[in-house]
Structure 1
Amino acid sequence: MSTVGHPLRHENFQKAVGDLFWSGKDSDLTITCGPYIYKVHRFIICLQWHHLGVAISACFNKPGQWVLDLPNDHPPTIHRVLQYLYTQDYDDDGFEAEWVNPKEGMVYGPDRASERFQRCPIAIQVPQNNIQVYLTAEKYGIPSLMSLAAEKLGHWARVYRRSVAFIDILEDVLTLELGAKSELRGVLVDTSIDCIVELIERKKFLELTTQFPDFGSEVLATLVKTKLREQENKIREQGIKLREQENRLRKERRGRRGQKNKLHEQGNKLREQGLKPHEQRSSRREQMKGRRGRN
């Protein structure tokens, strides 16, 4: 059996499963959360939402009462969780998303001057939606959804890092005290470090580093590590350049030795050529002496 699938078939399958979420066709379970009612399918929900497996099984032990109520959860967030279970994605805007007011929708100008702003129509509810999805996925043990929510928040943070809203969202996440290993906290810390040159000039950001010492220490430690890494890279590059120079010098020395050897060989040849006439003269003298002796 071939292990290579056709992309179009996969897309069609995902669309078909996604349509089940919106249509509720052939549903065998109802999940309620506040005013929202969802007609869902056990085989899709239980395969991914293991935390609810026991509760759902308990529902089916009572004939005719195939309804699971989630009274303590945020209804729009449960909508996004269910949407993810069917489509492996969710909409973080459009569903109870609110646009920011003019003040929150301002970003600092290119010159980083705090008195100069530029209008920026961002939805402050978008990052908050992703935060709620992350917390709910953590509560119910859906790690893949946690990663997706953190990824979406990270994308928002990189795009709107210069907005006033970024500092507000950063403060909200730090207030949650999720821990240093939290993906959600990590994406905002990484964005803060990447944009530290811009953020360090903002009073509110500096206040956060003092208000949350762990965050301030992490930013400082990462900056120090980054600087050390940059210095190590520079030293490594300088070492490579020095080795290249040494190799060039060795080649030049070898070339000079080769030239000296050639000159030495040429000198030997010239000396040999210079001795031949002398040897000829010596042999002639000996011949002449021999003739005189015979006479």
Structure 2
Amino acid sequence: MAKSASSVDWLNRVFGDSKYSDLTIECGESTWHVHRVVICAQSPFFDKACSNGFKETSSKLIKLEDDDPTIVREMLRYLYTGDYLEQTKEGEEGSRRSALSTNVHIHTIADKYDIPALGDVAISKFSARAAREWKTEAFAGAIEEMYTSANENKEPMHKAAVAIAAENAKTLLNDDCGQAFRKIAEAVPKFAAELSIEIVNMKEKMPPTFARYRCPNSMRCNKVNMLEGLGQASGSRTCTYCSNQYYVNVWVSKKLDD
């Protein structure tokens, strides 16, 4: 459920404020003073860690030893505000990470700590940015990260990346801007396979296209016509040059190879 403007303003103010905090989260050298009512209500993982006699219940301290502090920070920001920052300020830890990569990492941590709404936001942000930045090396790098990360629930993010790549496959697979993309496609067979399937599916869904057909009147015309999708058509078509009409099955027999 989306947070109201007033609640977001209030939660923004208390995010990182130790006053009234009843839980501390540590990751690397970073520490956040948080509120269980905010954190545990949105994450079954943290709810469990703060109840049922776990050591965190008495110590009021949770250590996240295997995570990236910048990603943890943005996860917590989301829990308080309903949003997160894709890029950090120059010079801050994690500032060299691309926004696309951040979205991949956020999706991974959302799955790890059972925050599905955050995962949905990460996919939405990734898709919107990838639609603008699909020519960049950052897009290729994000694909590599999502296919090699430990996230068990990768499929939604995979689908988002594959859809963008398939839509722009002609450029990515042929032009100079796609060099980094092609290297990743070669290095990650699973992505290449899923991309191939998506391209085939897209072609099957495409409307009929024009093809070349030689006029059946080979003696007097024999000109090449561009006619639209005769494969499933019926009736007859007229030659653009000699104006003679021929049944579709006759035209189909005169189709030229692409």
| TM-score, normalization by structure 1 | 0.61
Provide the rounded CA distance (Å) in 2 between the counterparts of 1:47 and 1:78.
17
Could you tell me which residue of structure 1 aligns to residue 108 of structure 2? 135
Q: 1:179 to 1:68 in 2, by over 3 A?
A: closer
* Alignment partners' CA distance in 2, 1:225 and 1:77: 35
Task: Return the offset for 1:204.
Answer: 4.2
What is residue 20 of structure 1 aligned with on the other side? Answer: 14
Select 2:117's aligned residue among 141, 144, 164: 144
Q: Distance in 2 between matches of 1:135 and 1:219?
A: 21
Alpha-carbon shift at residue 31 of structure 1 (Å): 1.4
Higher strand share: 2
Aligned equivalent of 2:201, options 225, 245, 249: 225
For the residue of structure 2 that corresponds to 1:23, the secondary structure is: coil
Equivalent residues of 2:143, 2:161 under 8 A apart: yes
What's the Cα RMSD here? 3.0
Determine what percentage of the aligned residue pairs are the same residue: 25
Using structure 2 for the length normalisation, give the TM-score.
0.69
Residue type matched to 2:16 in 1? W
Residue correspondences, number: 207
Structure 1 residue 130: deviation in Å?
Answer: 1.9
State the Cα distance separating 1:129 from its structure 2 match. Answer: 2.0
5 Å-filtered alignment, 1:1-295, equals: 10-57=4-51, 58-59=54-55, 61-62=57-58, 65-94=59-88, 96-99=93-96, 124-176=97-149, 182-201=155-174, 202-231=178-207
Q: Please give the alpha-carbon distance, in whole angstroms, between the structure 2 residues aligned to 1:190 and 1:173.
A: 14
Partner of 2:242 in structure 1?
none
Q: 1:127 to 1:23 in 2, by over 3 A?
A: same
State the distance in 2 between where 1:92 and 1:205 align.
22
Larger Rg: 1
In 2, Cα distance between equivalents of 1:197 and 1:172: 23
Kindly state the Cα deviation for residue 177 of structure 1 after the two structures are TM-superposed: 7.5
User: How far apart, CA to CA, are the structure 1 residues paired with 2:84 and 2:119?
Assistant: 12
Report how far residue 74 of structure 1 moved.
1.5
**Match of 2:64, as an amino acid?**
L
Question: 1:10: how far off?
Answer: 2.4
Structure 1 residue 191: Cα displacement? 0.9
1:180 and 1:186 in contact (8 A); partners too? no
**Pair 81,217 (structure 1): closer, same or farther in 2 beyond 3 Å:** same
- Cα drift, residue 45 of structure 1: 0.9
